Amino acid sequence: MTTKLPVLDVPIVLAPLGGVGTPELAAAVSNAGGLGFLPCAYSTPAQITEQIAAVRRLTDRPFGVNLFVETQWDEPGDRVRRAHERLRRYRNELGIPHAAEPPLPPRHYRQQVEAVLAARPAVFSFTFGILEADVLERARAAGIATLGTATTVDEALALERAGVDAICAQGAEAGAHRGTFLAPVADSLIGTLALVPQIVDAVQVPVVAAGGIGDGRGVAAVLALGAMWAQLGTAFLLADESGISPAYRHVLAGDPVRRTTLTTAFSGRAARGIRNRFIEEMSNPDDLAPYPYQNALTRDVRTAAAQQNRSEFLSLWAGQAAALAKAEPAATIVARLMREAREAAQRSVRAAGLPVGTI
Ligand SMILES: Cc1cc2nc3c(=O)[nH]c(=O)nc-3n(C[C@H](O)[C@H](O)[C@H](O)COP(=O)(O)O)c2cc1C
Protein backbone atom coordinates (compact mmCIF):
# COMPACT_ATOMS: atom_id res chain seq x y z
CA MET A 1 0.00 0.00 0.00
CA THR A 2 1.32 3.44 -0.86
CA THR A 3 0.82 6.77 0.88
CA LYS A 4 -0.94 9.42 -1.15
CA LEU A 5 1.23 12.16 -2.58
CA PRO A 6 -0.13 15.67 -2.10
CA VAL A 7 -2.25 17.14 -4.88
CA LEU A 8 -0.48 20.16 -6.40
CA ASP A 9 -1.91 23.05 -8.41
CA VAL A 10 1.15 22.98 -10.67
CA PRO A 11 3.52 20.04 -11.34
CA ILE A 12 6.58 21.93 -10.09
CA VAL A 13 8.83 20.71 -7.29
CA LEU A 14 11.54 22.85 -5.75
CA ALA A 15 14.53 20.50 -5.35
CA PRO A 16 15.90 20.33 -1.84
CA LEU A 17 18.91 22.65 -2.06
CA GLY A 18 21.37 21.66 0.67
CA GLY A 19 23.23 24.69 2.02
CA VAL A 20 21.10 27.09 -0.06
CA GLY A 21 17.42 26.31 0.53
CA THR A 22 15.53 28.29 3.16
CA PRO A 23 12.12 28.00 4.82
CA GLU A 24 11.14 31.15 2.87
CA LEU A 25 12.01 29.52 -0.47
CA ALA A 26 10.20 26.26 0.37
CA ALA A 27 7.09 28.13 1.53
CA ALA A 28 7.11 30.43 -1.52
CA VAL A 29 7.06 27.49 -3.95
CA SER A 30 4.33 25.70 -1.96
CA ASN A 31 2.29 28.91 -1.80
CA ALA A 32 2.68 29.24 -5.58
CA GLY A 33 0.97 25.86 -6.00
CA GLY A 34 4.08 23.65 -6.34
CA LEU A 35 5.87 21.52 -3.75
CA GLY A 36 8.51 23.33 -1.72
CA PHE A 37 11.33 21.33 -0.13
CA LEU A 38 13.41 21.92 2.93
CA PRO A 39 16.92 20.44 2.68
CA CYS A 40 17.81 18.95 6.08
CA ALA A 41 20.92 16.82 5.40
CA TYR A 42 23.25 19.46 6.84
CA SER A 43 20.97 20.38 9.74
CA THR A 44 21.06 19.16 13.33
CA PRO A 45 17.91 17.43 14.59
CA ALA A 46 17.00 20.59 16.56
CA GLN A 47 17.46 22.75 13.44
CA ILE A 48 15.25 20.38 11.45
CA THR A 49 12.44 20.82 13.98
CA GLU A 50 12.88 24.62 13.99
CA GLN A 51 13.07 24.96 10.21
CA ILE A 52 10.00 22.82 9.60
CA ALA A 53 8.13 24.99 12.11
CA ALA A 54 9.39 28.07 10.22
CA VAL A 55 7.98 26.72 6.93
CA ARG A 56 4.66 26.05 8.67
CA ARG A 57 4.52 29.64 9.86
CA LEU A 58 4.79 30.74 6.21
CA THR A 59 2.46 28.27 4.51
CA ASP A 60 -0.33 25.86 5.28
CA ARG A 61 0.24 24.03 2.01
CA PRO A 62 2.07 20.71 1.68
CA PHE A 63 5.88 20.70 1.51
CA GLY A 64 8.65 18.14 1.66
CA VAL A 65 11.76 17.50 3.73
CA ASN A 66 14.93 15.85 2.46
CA LEU A 67 17.77 13.86 4.04
CA PHE A 68 20.89 12.07 2.85
CA VAL A 69 20.64 8.37 3.71
CA GLU A 70 23.55 7.38 5.92
CA THR A 71 26.33 5.72 3.97
CA GLN A 72 29.67 4.21 5.10
CA TRP A 73 31.25 4.88 8.45
CA ASP A 74 34.56 2.95 8.54
CA GLU A 75 36.92 5.66 9.60
CA PRO A 76 39.79 5.78 7.12
CA GLY A 77 42.16 7.41 9.67
CA ASP A 78 45.25 7.97 7.53
CA ARG A 79 43.36 9.21 4.51
CA VAL A 80 41.42 11.71 6.63
CA ARG A 81 44.62 13.05 8.19
CA ARG A 82 46.32 13.31 4.78
CA ALA A 83 43.32 15.08 3.23
CA HIS A 84 43.18 17.44 6.23
CA GLU A 85 46.85 18.31 5.73
CA ARG A 86 46.26 18.89 2.01
CA LEU A 87 43.78 21.65 2.93
CA ARG A 88 46.34 23.55 5.02
CA ARG A 89 47.41 25.66 2.04
CA TYR A 90 43.85 26.88 1.43
CA ARG A 91 43.34 27.66 5.11
CA ASN A 92 46.58 29.66 5.01
CA GLU A 93 45.42 31.53 1.95
CA LEU A 94 42.11 32.32 3.63
CA GLY A 95 43.79 33.22 6.94
CA ILE A 96 41.85 30.65 8.99
CA PRO A 97 43.32 28.24 11.56
CA HIS A 98 44.36 24.70 10.66
CA ALA A 99 43.21 22.50 13.54
CA ALA A 100 45.64 19.90 14.93
CA GLU A 101 42.97 17.19 14.58
CA PRO A 102 40.79 16.85 11.47
CA PRO A 103 37.14 17.89 11.98
CA LEU A 104 34.88 14.83 11.76
CA PRO A 105 31.34 14.61 10.37
CA PRO A 106 28.46 14.65 12.88
CA ARG A 107 26.89 11.26 13.68
CA HIS A 108 23.26 12.19 14.09
CA TYR A 109 21.55 10.48 11.17
CA ARG A 110 19.04 8.48 13.24
CA GLN A 111 18.14 11.60 15.24
CA GLN A 112 17.66 13.53 11.99
CA VAL A 113 15.26 10.81 10.83
CA GLU A 114 13.37 11.00 14.14
CA ALA A 115 13.03 14.78 13.80
CA VAL A 116 11.60 14.41 10.28
CA LEU A 117 9.15 11.66 11.25
CA ALA A 118 7.98 13.60 14.31
CA ALA A 119 7.29 16.71 12.21
CA ARG A 120 5.20 14.74 9.68
CA PRO A 121 5.87 16.68 6.46
CA ALA A 122 3.71 15.72 3.47
CA VAL A 123 6.73 14.21 1.70
CA PHE A 124 10.05 12.76 2.93
CA SER A 125 12.56 12.61 0.10
CA PHE A 126 16.01 11.09 0.29
CA THR A 127 19.10 10.39 -1.76
CA PHE A 128 22.35 8.30 -1.66
CA GLY A 129 20.48 5.06 -0.98
CA ILE A 130 17.26 3.66 0.47
CA LEU A 131 15.76 4.60 3.82
CA GLU A 132 15.87 1.72 6.29
CA ALA A 133 12.80 -0.58 6.17
CA ASP A 134 11.61 0.46 9.64
CA VAL A 135 11.82 4.15 8.66
CA LEU A 136 9.80 3.58 5.49
CA GLU A 137 7.27 1.66 7.56
CA ARG A 138 6.98 4.43 10.15
CA ALA A 139 6.66 7.09 7.44
CA ARG A 140 3.80 5.06 5.94
CA ALA A 141 2.11 4.72 9.33
CA ALA A 142 2.41 8.50 9.84
CA GLY A 143 0.92 9.29 6.40
CA ILE A 144 4.20 10.75 5.09
CA ALA A 145 4.79 10.00 1.39
CA THR A 146 8.33 8.82 0.58
CA LEU A 147 10.28 9.89 -2.51
CA GLY A 148 13.59 8.14 -3.25
CA THR A 149 16.22 9.25 -5.75
CA ALA A 150 17.34 6.98 -8.61
CA THR A 151 19.99 7.60 -11.25
CA THR A 152 19.48 4.26 -13.05
CA VAL A 153 16.58 1.90 -13.77
CA ASP A 154 18.12 -0.63 -11.35
CA GLU A 155 18.04 1.93 -8.53
CA ALA A 156 14.44 2.79 -9.35
CA LEU A 157 13.48 -0.90 -9.19
CA ALA A 158 15.31 -1.29 -5.86
CA LEU A 159 13.45 1.73 -4.46
CA GLU A 160 10.12 0.40 -5.69
CA ARG A 161 10.81 -3.01 -4.13
CA ALA A 162 11.55 -1.26 -0.83
CA GLY A 163 8.07 0.30 -1.00
CA VAL A 164 8.64 4.01 -1.71
CA ASP A 165 5.62 6.04 -2.85
CA ALA A 166 7.39 7.84 -5.72
CA ILE A 167 10.76 7.96 -7.44
CA CYS A 168 12.82 10.98 -8.38
CA ALA A 169 14.71 10.16 -11.60
CA GLN A 170 17.87 12.25 -11.41
CA GLY A 171 19.54 12.73 -14.79
CA ALA A 172 23.27 13.31 -15.24
CA GLU A 173 22.67 17.02 -15.95
CA ALA A 174 21.58 17.65 -12.36
CA GLY A 175 23.29 20.13 -10.06
CA ALA A 176 25.09 18.98 -6.86
CA HIS A 177 25.41 15.42 -5.58
CA ARG A 178 24.67 12.34 -7.64
CA GLY A 179 22.17 10.17 -5.81
CA THR A 180 23.86 7.04 -7.23
CA PHE A 181 23.99 4.09 -4.83
CA LEU A 182 24.27 0.85 -6.81
CA ALA A 183 26.71 0.98 -9.75
CA PRO A 184 29.76 3.27 -9.97
CA VAL A 185 28.89 6.91 -10.74
CA ALA A 186 30.73 6.74 -14.08
CA ASP A 187 28.29 4.02 -15.20
CA SER A 188 25.23 5.89 -13.87
CA LEU A 189 25.41 9.15 -15.81
CA ILE A 190 22.23 8.83 -17.83
CA GLY A 191 20.72 12.01 -19.23
CA THR A 192 17.22 13.02 -18.10
CA LEU A 193 15.77 12.53 -21.60
CA ALA A 194 16.93 8.90 -21.62
CA LEU A 195 16.40 8.10 -17.93
CA VAL A 196 12.87 9.36 -17.27
CA PRO A 197 10.93 7.27 -19.86
CA GLN A 198 12.88 4.13 -18.94
CA ILE A 199 12.06 4.53 -15.26
CA VAL A 200 8.45 5.44 -16.08
CA ASP A 201 8.19 2.16 -18.03
CA ALA A 202 9.92 0.09 -15.34
CA VAL A 203 7.98 1.08 -12.21
CA GLN A 204 4.35 1.40 -11.16
CA VAL A 205 4.82 4.35 -8.79
CA PRO A 206 4.81 8.00 -9.97
CA VAL A 207 8.07 9.44 -11.26
CA VAL A 208 9.43 12.92 -10.59
CA ALA A 209 11.99 14.10 -13.16
CA ALA A 210 15.09 16.07 -12.17
CA GLY A 211 18.26 17.23 -13.87
CA GLY A 212 18.88 20.04 -16.31
CA ILE A 213 15.29 21.31 -16.38
CA GLY A 214 16.15 24.98 -16.82
CA ASP A 215 12.82 26.51 -17.80
CA GLY A 216 9.28 25.66 -18.85
CA ARG A 217 10.44 23.97 -22.05
CA GLY A 218 12.18 21.38 -19.89
CA VAL A 219 9.09 21.06 -17.70
CA ALA A 220 6.92 20.32 -20.75
CA ALA A 221 9.52 17.84 -22.01
CA VAL A 222 9.66 15.74 -18.84
CA LEU A 223 5.86 15.75 -18.48
CA ALA A 224 5.70 14.48 -22.07
CA LEU A 225 8.14 11.72 -21.08
CA GLY A 226 5.69 10.54 -18.44
CA ALA A 227 6.88 12.28 -15.30
CA MET A 228 4.19 13.36 -12.84
CA TRP A 229 6.16 16.37 -11.58
CA ALA A 230 9.28 18.28 -12.66
CA GLN A 231 11.84 18.90 -9.90
CA LEU A 232 14.09 21.90 -10.45
CA GLY A 233 17.05 22.93 -8.34
CA THR A 234 19.38 25.21 -10.25
CA ALA A 235 16.46 27.18 -11.73
CA PHE A 236 15.66 28.39 -8.18
CA LEU A 237 19.22 29.20 -7.06
CA LEU A 238 18.88 32.88 -7.99
CA ALA A 239 15.40 33.23 -6.46
CA ASP A 240 15.03 36.17 -4.09
CA GLU A 241 14.31 33.74 -1.24
CA SER A 242 17.38 31.54 -1.89
CA GLY A 243 20.13 31.52 0.75
CA ILE A 244 22.93 31.62 -1.81
CA SER A 245 26.07 33.60 -0.89
CA PRO A 246 26.86 36.77 -2.87
CA ALA A 247 30.00 35.16 -4.37
CA TYR A 248 28.02 32.12 -5.58
CA ARG A 249 25.26 34.38 -6.95
CA HIS A 250 27.85 36.45 -8.79
CA VAL A 251 29.37 33.40 -10.55
CA LEU A 252 25.92 32.03 -11.49
CA ALA A 253 25.06 35.29 -13.16
CA GLY A 254 28.33 35.37 -15.16
CA ASP A 255 29.98 33.43 -17.97
CA PRO A 256 31.71 30.59 -16.01
CA VAL A 257 28.18 29.28 -15.37
CA ARG A 258 28.47 27.40 -18.66
CA ARG A 259 31.28 25.17 -17.41
CA THR A 260 29.94 22.61 -14.98
CA THR A 261 31.79 19.43 -14.12
CA LEU A 262 31.52 16.47 -11.79
CA THR A 263 33.88 16.63 -8.83
CA THR A 264 34.52 14.75 -5.58
CA ALA A 265 36.83 17.49 -4.25
CA PHE A 266 34.41 19.11 -1.80
CA SER A 267 32.63 16.17 -0.18
CA GLY A 268 34.21 12.93 -1.35
CA ARG A 269 31.04 12.16 -3.35
CA ALA A 270 30.52 13.02 -7.01
CA ALA A 271 28.62 16.27 -7.47
CA ARG A 272 28.09 18.72 -10.34
CA GLY A 273 29.25 22.28 -9.94
CA ILE A 274 30.85 25.18 -11.76
CA ARG A 275 34.52 24.54 -12.40
CA ASN A 276 36.82 26.64 -10.23
CA ARG A 277 40.36 26.61 -8.85
CA PHE A 278 39.58 24.28 -5.94
CA ILE A 279 38.15 21.65 -8.31
CA GLU A 280 41.12 21.98 -10.69
CA GLU A 281 43.73 21.67 -7.95
CA MET A 282 42.00 18.92 -5.97
CA SER A 283 41.46 16.44 -8.79
CA ASN A 284 43.87 13.80 -7.42
CA PRO A 285 41.83 11.18 -5.53
CA ASP A 286 44.83 10.60 -3.21
CA ASP A 287 44.30 14.11 -1.82
CA LEU A 288 40.73 13.36 -0.74
CA ALA A 289 39.00 11.52 2.08
CA PRO A 290 35.84 9.54 1.31
CA TYR A 291 32.38 10.99 1.91
CA PRO A 292 31.27 12.16 4.47
CA TYR A 293 34.78 12.87 5.85
CA GLN A 294 35.86 15.13 3.00
CA ASN A 295 32.67 17.14 3.43
CA ALA A 296 33.50 17.77 7.09
CA LEU A 297 37.13 18.61 6.26
CA THR A 298 36.31 21.26 3.66
CA ARG A 299 33.49 22.91 5.62
CA ASP A 300 35.66 25.62 7.22
CA VAL A 301 37.30 26.40 3.86
CA ARG A 302 33.90 26.78 2.16
CA THR A 303 32.46 28.87 4.98
CA ALA A 304 35.45 31.23 5.03
CA ALA A 305 35.41 31.46 1.23
CA ALA A 306 31.76 32.54 1.29
CA GLN A 307 32.47 35.13 3.99
CA GLN A 308 35.45 36.50 2.05
CA ASN A 309 33.77 36.46 -1.36
CA ARG A 310 36.31 33.94 -2.70
CA SER A 311 34.36 31.88 -5.23
CA GLU A 312 37.50 29.97 -6.21
CA PHE A 313 37.16 27.89 -3.02
CA LEU A 314 33.35 27.54 -2.93
CA SER A 315 31.28 24.54 -3.92
CA LEU A 316 29.31 26.24 -6.72
CA TRP A 317 26.77 23.46 -7.26
CA ALA A 318 24.81 23.92 -10.47
CA GLY A 319 23.24 21.78 -13.18
CA GLN A 320 24.00 21.90 -16.88
CA ALA A 321 21.15 24.31 -17.61
CA ALA A 322 22.47 26.86 -15.10
CA ALA A 323 22.69 29.66 -17.66
CA LEU A 324 18.87 29.60 -17.89
CA ALA A 325 18.38 30.52 -14.20
CA LYS A 326 16.82 33.94 -13.56
CA ALA A 327 16.88 36.21 -10.52
CA GLU A 328 13.18 36.53 -9.70
CA PRO A 329 10.91 35.89 -6.72
CA ALA A 330 10.17 32.16 -6.42
CA ALA A 331 6.46 32.68 -7.15
CA THR A 332 7.36 34.48 -10.40
CA ILE A 333 9.66 31.60 -11.35
CA VAL A 334 6.86 29.06 -10.80
CA ALA A 335 4.37 31.14 -12.82
CA ARG A 336 6.91 31.63 -15.63
CA LEU A 337 7.76 27.91 -15.74
CA MET A 338 4.09 27.07 -16.19
CA ARG A 339 3.56 29.72 -18.88
CA GLU A 340 6.64 28.51 -20.78
CA ALA A 341 5.58 24.88 -20.36
CA ARG A 342 2.16 25.58 -21.87
CA GLU A 343 3.72 27.44 -24.81
CA ALA A 344 6.19 24.59 -25.36
CA ALA A 345 3.42 21.99 -25.24
CA GLN A 346 1.42 23.97 -27.79
CA ARG A 347 4.46 24.10 -30.08
CA SER A 348 4.78 20.31 -29.80
CA VAL A 349 1.12 19.83 -30.66
CA ARG A 350 1.47 22.11 -33.68
CA ALA A 351 4.67 20.36 -34.78
CA ALA A 352 2.87 17.02 -34.56
CA GLY A 353 0.24 18.40 -36.93
CA LEU A 354 -2.56 18.40 -34.35
CA PRO A 355 -4.94 21.32 -33.76
CA VAL A 356 -3.66 23.42 -30.84
CA GLY A 357 -7.03 23.13 -29.12
CA THR A 358 -6.16 19.47 -28.50
CA ILE A 359 -4.31 20.40 -25.31
C1 LIG B 1 22.72 23.75 -4.72
C2 LIG B 1 22.07 22.40 -4.78
C3 LIG B 1 21.93 21.66 -3.63
C4 LIG B 1 21.30 20.41 -3.66
N5 LIG B 1 21.11 19.72 -2.49
C6 LIG B 1 20.41 18.56 -2.50
C7 LIG B 1 20.08 17.92 -1.27
O8 LIG B 1 20.40 18.38 -0.17
N9 LIG B 1 19.37 16.75 -1.35
C10 LIG B 1 18.97 16.21 -2.55
O11 LIG B 1 18.32 15.16 -2.55
N12 LIG B 1 19.28 16.81 -3.72
C13 LIG B 1 19.98 17.96 -3.71
N14 LIG B 1 20.25 18.59 -4.90
C15 LIG B 1 19.92 17.92 -6.19
C16 LIG B 1 18.47 18.17 -6.56
O17 LIG B 1 17.62 17.37 -5.77
C18 LIG B 1 18.17 17.84 -8.03
O19 LIG B 1 18.54 16.52 -8.34
C20 LIG B 1 18.88 18.78 -9.00
O21 LIG B 1 18.87 20.10 -8.54
C22 LIG B 1 18.19 18.72 -10.35
O23 LIG B 1 18.99 19.29 -11.34
P24 LIG B 1 19.02 20.87 -11.69
O25 LIG B 1 19.85 21.47 -10.62
O26 LIG B 1 19.66 20.88 -13.03
O27 LIG B 1 17.61 21.35 -11.67
C28 LIG B 1 20.86 19.86 -4.90
C29 LIG B 1 21.01 20.62 -6.07
C30 LIG B 1 21.60 21.88 -6.03
C31 LIG B 1 21.72 22.67 -7.30
Atom of ligand 1 minimally distant from the CA of 319: 26
- Phi and psi, residue 173, nearest 5°: -75, -15
What is the reported pLDDT for 358?
57
What is the reported pLDDT for 313?
98
What is the reported pLDDT for 258?
82
The rounded distance, in Å, linking the Cα atoms of 318 and 234 is 6
Is 0.95 topped by the overall pTM?
Answer: yes
* Helical (H) or strand (E) element with 85: helix 77-86
Atom of ligand 1 minimally distant from the CA of 321: 26
Chunked mean pLDDT (size 10), the chain, 359 residues: 88 98 98 98 98 98 98 82 97 97 95 98 98 98 98 98 98 98 98 98 98 98 98 98 96 88 98 97 95 97 97 97 97 98 95 74
Atom of ligand 1 minimally distant from the CA of 126: 11
The rounded distance, in Å, linking the Cα atoms of 19 and 247 is 14
Residue 176 CB–ligand 1 contact under 6 Å: yes
CATH placement of domain 12-353: 3.20.20.70
What is the reported pLDDT for 256?
78
The rounded distance, in Å, linking the Cα atoms of 125 and 112 is 13
- Phi and psi, residue 306, nearest 5°: -65, -45
Cα 208 to ligand 1 centre (Å):
13
Nearest-CA residue for atom 8 of ligand 1:
18
Atom of ligand 1 minimally distant from the CA of 20: 1
Residue 87: strand, helix, or coil: coil
Cα 232 to ligand 1 centre (Å):
8
Residue 212 CB–ligand 1 contact under 6 Å: yes
The CA-CA-CA angle for residues 334, 336, 339, to 5°, reads: 115
Residue 321 CB–ligand 1 contact under 6 Å: yes
Give 8-11's long-range contacts (Cβ < 8 A, gap of 24+). 8/33, 8/34, 8/35, 8/62, 8/229, 9/33, 9/34, 10/34, 10/334, 10/337, 10/338, 11/219, 11/223, 11/227, 11/228, 11/229, 11/230
Confirm if 219 and 196 have CB atoms less than 8 A apart: no
Mutate to test the pocket of ligand 1, among 17, 123, 190, 196 (most ligand atoms within 8 A of CB): 17
Cα 127 to ligand 1 centre (Å):
10
